[in-house]
Amino acid sequence: MNFHVRRVSRNVFDVFEGKQWSTWSRLKGGRSGVYVVNGERLPYSVVKALAANINPSQETQEVVV
């Protein structure tokens, strides 16, 4: 799966699935891990893989999971 990731703030990211960007989720990192705040629900394994591959220092990036 290909995801386009945009940083909203220090620990919040908008994640768009595929090339059409019709499916999106907002991920937020906290003390207890990364979770979906808004948008489409993602399986736990996908959220965990995204959290491991997202570089928080970049504004936008492509992540393949």
Per-residue confidence (pLDDT) for residue 42, from 0 to 100:
92
In this structure, what is the dihedral angle of CA atoms 57, 12, 8, 58, given to the nearest 10 degrees?
20
Per-residue confidence (pLDDT) for residue 9, from 0 to 100:
94
Per-residue confidence (pLDDT) for residue 21, from 0 to 100:
80
Per-residue confidence (pLDDT) for residue 32, from 0 to 100:
84
pTM (2 d.p.): 0.88
pLDDT tens, 6-62?
A: 999 999 999 999 887 888 999 999 888 888 999 999 999 999 999 999 999 999 999
DSSP 13-61: EEEEETTT--EEEEEEEETTEEEEEEES---HHHHHHHHHH--TT-SEE
